[in-house]
Chain A
Amino acid sequence: MNTLSTISAFTYQHKRIADYFPALQQKVYGQPLIYFDNAATTQKPQTVIDAIARYYSTINSNVHRGVHYLSQLATEASEETRRRVARFIHARYAHEIIFTRGTTESINLVAYSYSKAFLKPGDNVVISAMEHHSNIVPWQIACEDHGATLRVIPMNERGELLLDELDHLVDEHTRMLAITWISNSLGTVNPVREIIEKAHQLNIPVLIDAAQAAPHMPIDVQAIDCDFLAFSGHKMYGPTGIGVLYGKEEWLDRMPPYQGGGEMIKSVRFEKTEYNDLPFKFEAGTPHIEGTVCLQAALDFLESLPLADAFAYEQQLLEYATRQVSQIPGLRIIGQAAEKASILSFIIEGTHPYDVGVLLDKMGIAVRTGHHCTQPVMDFFGIPGTVRVSLAVYNTPAEIDRLTSCLDKALSMLK
């Protein structure tokens, strides 16, 4: 097998980028850890870990209501992150950035609040055949609550959406199109700009699930003109439990709150409560302050790589990985779209993904196996699941070579 790579590991300030990630320095079962489960969550650079310790060692306090010094610092740090995120995705206003627990909560917020205001009996919501359960179930619930129906854009055997079908699926009763930018189980990059343009011709707002896109491609919400966009901090080198919902001001203003509680109110009387302005209307209760503040450190890290270089490297690595694993007899790549990013899903004839995953784990390689929260995708391909290798900037061609040799070893044990 050809294991010569023309690309070398990504370096940052003359060091291997993996050297900035303490968790990657470990051994598991006596083997150096190779972490290929980045679509589930990425490891954290030392700067993010330090930021978390620094937050609790210095400015820890509750935000917004406090008159005291620390509270003002924590509030300012949180709001600075909001401005920072707005710049990162090129939003017009910082108040179009709502902090949530993650992509799932972001989508649930829209499915609940938007639907409460706009979804009526006889209406429909359009999603795609490759959505994560997080972009299916909230809409199923909303449709059930409001007497609407769910429609699904189909895909082909390569894992590409059949966008011609979109014309038949949308009509004057379509109230929302919710679609993923990058499929978490197939790696397909969907042409969101084109889809949004089509939807907007019929005045249909579009929500983009950017959970997999945010760590791997530049995001400009004004350029693609999406109405909502959701992503998670922990999949882009940041802390867990912090996510982002971007929404256009004109939509967010017309949506009722998602949860009631502190911070989301202007005044509370037993007769009537007056809600706060954006973004606080959608941020009830004490937020995940540490996560919010430290998300900045993750964005600093990503942008300092710089972004464009990291993304180009990841793309080369994906092409290399695809080439290498394709040489394994009986291996079938699930998801062969023309446009792909960071995710390589496969099955191997005569083996179950679970068996392959267990044996790779014993050899120090972390992959994910199963349906990846996309059961309809697995049903479409008629498979129980896949082995998923999902890449990040710290992965290397040498790790891909180790993967292929460990796959050979696993197969020799299983057959």
Chain B
Amino acid sequence: MSINEIQDELIAEFSMLTDWVDKYEYLIQLGKDLPPIDPQYKTDDHLIKGCQSKVWLHAELKQDGKIYFTADSDAIISKGLVSLVIRILSGHTPEEIAKADLYCIDRIGLKEHLSPTRSNGLVSMIKQMKLYAIAFQSQLKHA
């Protein structure tokens, strides 16, 4: 599925959840379902700056030319948010990730997590994933 197809799927899933409690319970569940990160990547080098909670993110460019992300957080809502973004971006090429427009965040009712305040991690998470994508992009170009 393309990045936008996944986003549309998420919009459809979240549209079933009418009130905020259901949405956050779903987000918490996404956090719980996030596959664990390899403990060797749970270091300060892998922390995303700009989150009030700790969010570790690891990116790997595999043989298939696609980036695979793994992550963890000490806060379950942050973990749910990072899980959500991983579902959208992981398994795509650096180019696709770098130019992705994450329009679904607003549409699924998590807009308040997009304000670029220091307590909020979502903007930093997306930015960090795109930075990885851009770094891998230039690595591939020079390879």
Does A362 lie at the interface of the complex (its beta carbon under 8 Å from any beta carbon of B)?
A: yes
Residue A29 at the chain B interface, CB threshold 8 Å: yes
B53 to chain A: closest CB distance in Å?
Answer: 4
B138 at the interface (CB under 8 A from A): no
At the interface, yes or no: A370 with Cβ under 8 Å from chain B?
Answer: yes
Stretch at the interface among A12-20, A48-56, A353-361: A353-361
CB atoms of B21 and A413 under 8 A apart: yes
| A385 proximal to B (CB < 8 A) | yes
Indicate if the CB atoms of A384 and B53 lie closer than 8 Å. Answer: yes
Chain B residues in 8 Å Cβ range of A384: 53-54, 74
* Cβ contact within 8 Å between A413 and B119: no
- Residues facing A in B108-143 (CB within 8 A) are 119
Residues of B within 8 A of A137 (CB): none
CA distance A189 to B75 in the complex (A): 31
Task: Check: A116 CB closer than 8 A to any chain B CB.
Answer: no
Least Cβ–Cβ distance between B119 and chain A, in angstroms: 7
Chain B stretch 72-111: residues in CB contact (< 8 A) with chain A:
74-78
A369 in the interface, Cβ–Cβ < 8 Å? yes
Q: Which of B24, B53, B74, B75: most chain A CB closer than 10 A?
A: B75
Task: State whether B119 touches A369 (Cβ < 8 A).
Answer: yes
Q: Which residues of A contact B53 (CB under 8 A)?
A: 352, 354-355, 384
For residue A202, CB closer than 8 A to chain B, the reply is: no
B-facing residues in A357-415 (Cβ within 8 Å)? 358-359, 362, 369-370, 384-385, 413-414
- CB contacts (< 8 Å) of A358 on chain B: these are 24, 77
Report whether B28 and A414 are in contact in the complex, using a CB–CB cutoff of 8 Å. yes
B9 at the interface (CB under 8 A from A): no
Given contacts A362-B20, A362-B24, contact A414 B52 (CB under 8 A): no
Pick from A351, A359, A369, A413: contact of B52, CB below 8 A: A369
The listed residue (B25, B74, B119) touching A352 by CB distance below 8 A is: B74
User: 10 tightest A-B contacts by CB?
Assistant: A352-B75, A354-B75, A354-B53, A355-B77, A354-B52, A355-B75, A370-B52, A362-B20, A358-B77, A355-B76
Q: How far is the CB of B106 from chain A (nearest CB, A)?
A: 16
- Residue pair B76, A414 in contact (C-beta under 8 Å): yes
- Could you list 16 further interchain pairs (A-B, Cβ under 8 angstroms) beyond the known A354-B52, A354-B53? A352-B53, A352-B76, A354-B75, A354-B77, A354-B78, A354-B119, A355-B75, A355-B78, A358-B24, A362-B24, A369-B52, A370-B52, A385-B52, A413-B28, A414-B28, A414-B76
Complex: chain B residue closest to A352, CB-CB:
B75
| Closest-CB distance, B39 to chain A (whole angstroms) | 19
Nearest to B78 among chain A residues (CB) is: A354
Residues of chain A lying within 8 A (CB to CB) of residue B20: 29, 362
With A354-B53, A413-B28, A414-B28 already in contact, the answer to whether A370 and B74 are too (CB < 8 A) is: no
A residues 322-372 touching B (CB-CB < 8 Å):
351-352, 354-355, 358-359, 362, 369-370
**Chain B residue nearest in CB terms to A362:** B20
**Contact partners of A414 in chain B: CB under 8 A:** 28, 76
How many A residues face the partner with a CB closer than 8 A? 14
A-B contact list, 16 entries, CB within 8 Å? A351-B76, A352-B74, A352-B75, A352-B78, A354-B52, A354-B53, A354-B77, A354-B78, A355-B75, A355-B78, A359-B24, A362-B20, A370-B52, A384-B53, A413-B25, A414-B28
Residue of A nearest to B75 (CB): A352
Nearest-CB distance from B25 to chain A (Å)? 6
What chain B residues lie within 8 Å of A359 (beta carbons)? 24, 77
Chain A, Cβ-Cβ closest to B121: A354
In B22-54, which residues have CB < 8 Å from any A CB? 24-25, 28, 52-54
Closest to A350 in B: B76
Residues of A close to B75: CB separation below 8 A: 352, 354-355
Q: Give B23's nearest chain A residue, CB to CB.
A: A362
Task: Identify which of A29, A370, A413 gathers the most chain B CB atoms within 10 Å of its CB.
Answer: A413
CB distance from B57 to the nearest CB of A (A): 17
Q: How far in angstroms is the closest Cβ of chain A from B20?
A: 5
Find the B residue at minimum CB distance from A358.
B77
For the complex, what is the distance from the CA of A385 to the CA of B28, rounded to whole Å?
20
User: B24 — which chain A residues lie within 8 A by C-beta?
Assistant: 358-359, 362, 413
B78 contacts which chain A residues (CB < 8 A)?
352, 354-355
User: Across the interface, which residues of A come within 8 angstroms of B25, CB to CB?
Assistant: 413
- What residues on B are CB-neighbors of A352 within 8 Å? 53, 74-76, 78
- The smallest C-beta distance from B117 to any residue of chain A, in angstroms, reads 11
Docked pose: A196 CA to B52 CA in angstroms: 36
Q: Give the residues in chain A near B21, CB-CB below 8 Å.
A: 413
Q: Please give the distance in Å from B18's CB to the nearest CB on chain A.
A: 13
- Complex: chain A residue closest to B119, CB-CB: A370
Chain B residues whose C-beta falls within 8 Å of the C-beta of A355 in the assembled complex: 53, 75-78
Please name the residue on chain B nearest to A359 by beta carbon: B24
Chain A, Cβ-Cβ closest to B118: A370
Q: When chains A and B are docked, how far (Å) is the Cα of A359 from the Cα of B24?
A: 8
Report the minimal beta-carbon distance from B69 to chain A, rounded to whole angstroms: 21
Q: Which positions 23-52 of chain A face chain B at CB distance < 8 Å?
A: 29
Q: Which of A217-273 contact B (CB under 8 A)?
A: none
Chain B residues near A385: list those with CB within 8 A. 52
